[in-house]
Amino acid sequence: MNFYAECQRALETPDIETKSEIIDALIAQVESGETVPEGFVPTVFDRPSYADIAEVVSPRDLPRRRDFGTREGLATLVHSITHIEFSAIDLALDAVYRFPQMPTAYRLDWLVVAQDEVRHFGMLHAVLERLRHRYGDWPVHSGLFEMSMKTAGDVLDRMAVIPRYFEAGGLDVNPRIVARLQPHRDNSDVKEVIEALGVIETEEIDHVRKGNRWFRWLCSERVLEISETFLSILDRYNLRSRQRPQMNITARREAGFACEELLQLGAPECN
């Protein structure tokens, strides 16, 4: 099969089962020694694959999250996280598809990430279905997709912005969501969401670690200083926060961030 044609087909389909089957086949092809077609030019997409099944709106028009102790309140939360996981599947696939000049190990890393994200989506969507909803029942925003297209021109920017900024930010948010769910843990659906978030956090640490590894590899290849380069990219995309974020220092350190970087990003302390 044509590796990049199949990768594009996975990116464009909204069907999770099709995505999953293609990802598995792509991993098998990489492991067997796929080659990059000469003259391959990736497409810059004008819409995300989920636009076929969910209404895409501005973030300010998203429904407000309700009391997580109610079925509808929990469902809106699970739907929003499910959307992040769906988006993450395509982000990982696009990291493979968009940058054919990268080593085979890079392609394998992000295909395995895509495989993980499919599983995360499935865990959360199973809860959503028990809550009598499906992905697409509420509007979603396309911020991550838009940022992936903005960083389509340079793999260094992509590694800085998607795994090192947005996915690392997810490590910060995850414990806060779990803390809000804990008072409702006697509800079996809430308990399952908490358990799913625990699995997701552990595996997302590995995803961010892969982003860190390839960002550092690219900096070495281009003879760039890591921290300064990262901060300059964040500035270029207007991503530097003026507020000190509540960082999950332990998870970020495990994912490969240096204390120097975390302090520069606003962490009050780091050991």
Q: Is the pLDDT of residue 137 over 90?
A: yes
Confidence band (pLDDT; 50, 70, 90) for 245?
A: low
Residue-range domains of the chain with CATH: 3-34+50-264 (1.20.1260)
Q: 28-81 pLDDT, tens per residue?
A: 999 988 666 677 889 999 999 999 999 999 888 787 766 777 888 899 999 999
- d(CA 126, CA 82) in angstroms, rounded, equals 10
- d(CA 151, CA 162) in angstroms, rounded, equals 9
**What are the tokens at 132?**
């009598």
Q: Do you know the residue count of the chain?
A: 271
Confidence band (pLDDT; 50, 70, 90) for 216?
A: very high
Roughly what angle, to the nearest 10 degrees, separates helices 104-130 and 71-98?
A: 160
Write down the pLDDT at residue 21: 98
- DSSP H helices, the chain, are 3-12, 16-31, 71-98, 104-130, 143-150, 155-161, 168-181, 188-222, 226-236, 249-254, 259-264
Write down the pLDDT at residue 242: 54
| Averaged pLDDT, 140-154 | 96
CB contact set of 150 (below 8 Å; sequence gap of 6+): 161, 237
Cβ proximity of 147 and 237 under 8 Å? yes
Cβ proximity of 74 and 130 under 8 Å? no
Q: Is the pLDDT of residue 171 over 90?
A: yes
